[in-house]
């Protein structure tokens, strides 16, 4: 191959590479601008602070739900104890009634 042909091939390859890099750069820049718009819009707080606040708020809700579930579980336990006691009392009363009927 002649030196002129090699220079032409190298120049053409470099031109194609520059074009590809430019097109990719334009695409990436467009994506960056869309993301930037989502992050830097006209909100008064930055995104990270807002996410942290919402995370804490959601965590608070889960803590509240958990406390209510525990309280409900404790109430359910007391109800079970009460029902067991009442069932025992009814059984004793039934035994007393049956004993008196037999007499």
Interatomic CA distance for residues 49 and 89, integer angstroms: 60
Taking only the tens place, the pLDDT of each residue in 51-60 is 999 999 999 9
76 falls in which pLDDT band (50, 70, 90)? Answer: very high
* Sole residue written with tokens 């007393």: 96
Q: Which two tokens stand for residue 102?
A: 């037999």
Cβ within 8 Å of residue 39, ≥6 positions away: 47
Q: How many CB atoms lie within 10 A of CB 45?
A: 10
pLDDT band at 80 (very low <50, low <70, confident <90, very high): very high
Query: Cα(27)–Cα(44) distance, rounded to whole angstroms?
Result: 29
DSSP secondary structure code for residue 45 in this structure = S
| Eight-state DSSP code of residue 44 | S
Taking the complete model, does pTM exceed 0.85, yes or no? no
């Amino acid at each position: 191959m002649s030196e002129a042909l090699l220079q032409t091939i190298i120049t053409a390859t470099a031109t194609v590479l520059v074009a590809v890099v430019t097109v990719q750069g334009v695409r990436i820049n467009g994506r960056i601008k869309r993301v930037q718009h989502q992050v830097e819009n006209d909100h008064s707080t930055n995104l990270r602070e807002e996410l942290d606040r919402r995370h804490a708020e959601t965590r608070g809700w889960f803590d509240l739900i958990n406390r209510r579930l525990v309280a409900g579980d404790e109430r359910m336990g007391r109800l079970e104890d009460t029902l067991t006691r009442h069932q025992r009392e009814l059984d004793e009363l039934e035994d007393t009634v049956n004993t008196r009927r037999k007499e």
